[in-house]
Amino acid sequence: MESLLPLLAATLNAGTPLALAALGLAIHERAGVINLGAEGMMLLAAAAGFAVAFHTGSPAWGLAAGAGAGVALAAVFALLVVVFNASQYGSGLAIMLLGSGLSAFAGVSYAGRSLGQGQAGLPWLRDIPGLGGTVFALHPLVYATMALACLLTGFLYRTRAGMLLRAVGESPESAHALGYPVGRIRVLAILAGGLCCGLAGAYLSVVYTQLWSEGMVAGRGWMALALIAFGMWHPLRILLGAYLFGGLTMLQFQLQGMGVQVPSQFLAMLPYVCTVAVLALRGGNPGWMRRNMPRALGRPFLPER
């Protein structure tokens, strides 16, 4: 238990940004919109969140700034794909490049700087012997992400608004014929997803590493996209997949600490190998894809004027 509890805590910590980004992108895709710009959104949010947290001394303000940066880029993406009916794939790549470039430019003066360590965890629970110093000593956003996955599951499958969101992702033409504002629903879904991606990026720089470096997201935006297919577009399965990927990321440090002689390069590439495998599975099983993927995913909606 002395070795498992720290590994569990590290897994939850490492999986949180993946889970947040993947849950946000799942909201996009449930509305029929695929966004390839998560990497850029997370990078810009990481830069904005670190800058605000560095100058204000408040991690909470840093997380809020990162969320705002994610929403801002999501608004640009929504303008392109909903208002101007641009290609979702091309627009997502443009957002990725825009976010990456802006973050590199804005973060130049913050390279090499770090934030001060602050006390985290849940009050009272973090004082419990054993669990308190590990599992309950994490940032509150870790536990909020778990709650978000549960709430999002209930929203999608138990509420009228959630079922409407899924209907827009399945057949926007039918939803429009019934009088529902498809464009407005997609915009709201994109903004909500951008908020989650922004929080994920800010979490990386403000909480997880407490520093800024160019390209620090390191492919997590693409891994989040793969997680959606891995979890079959279900929030709870996406959450479990994120923790699996997070556990693989932290496994290298745990094995090295135990003296296991495994090449660190092999262990470091495990999460990315899993990502490639998931993407291959996603494209190689059309029947499985048709049963789980929103039918209108990636398809622009052009109502009759």
**pLDDT, tens only, 234-285:** 999 999 999 988 888 777 666 666 666 667 677 667 777 776 776 676 666 6
Q: Note the pTM of the prediction, 2 decimals.
A: 0.90
Confidence class of residue 130 from pLDDT cuts 50, 70 and 90? low
Closest of 195, 167, 181, 204 to residue 50, by C-alpha = 204
- DSSP assignment, residue 289? H
In a domain? residue 221: yes
**Residue 79, Cβ density class (10 Å: 0-12 exposed, 13-18 middle, ≥19 buried):** middle
In a domain? residue 124: no
In a domain? residue 126: no
In a domain? residue 116: no
In a domain? residue 93: yes
Compute the chain's Rg from CA coordinates: 19
Q: How far is CA 218 from CA 46, 185, 201, 223, in A?
A: 12, 31, 11, 10
Which of the given ranges, 121-125, 137-141, 184-188, 207-211, has the highest pLDDT on average? 184-188
Number of domains forming the structure of the chain: 1
For residue 119, is pLDDT > 60? no
- Which residues span the domain enclosing 88? 4-111+132-292
User: Nearest 5 degrees, angle CA 84-CA 86-CA 89?
Assistant: 150
In a domain? residue 21: yes
In a domain? residue 120: no
In a domain? residue 302: no
Distance of CA 54 to the CA centre of its chain: 23
- 3-state DSSP assignment of residue 82: helix
For residue 181, is pLDDT > 90? yes
| Residue 114 pLDDT | 87
CATH code for the domain in which residue 24 is found? 1.10.3470
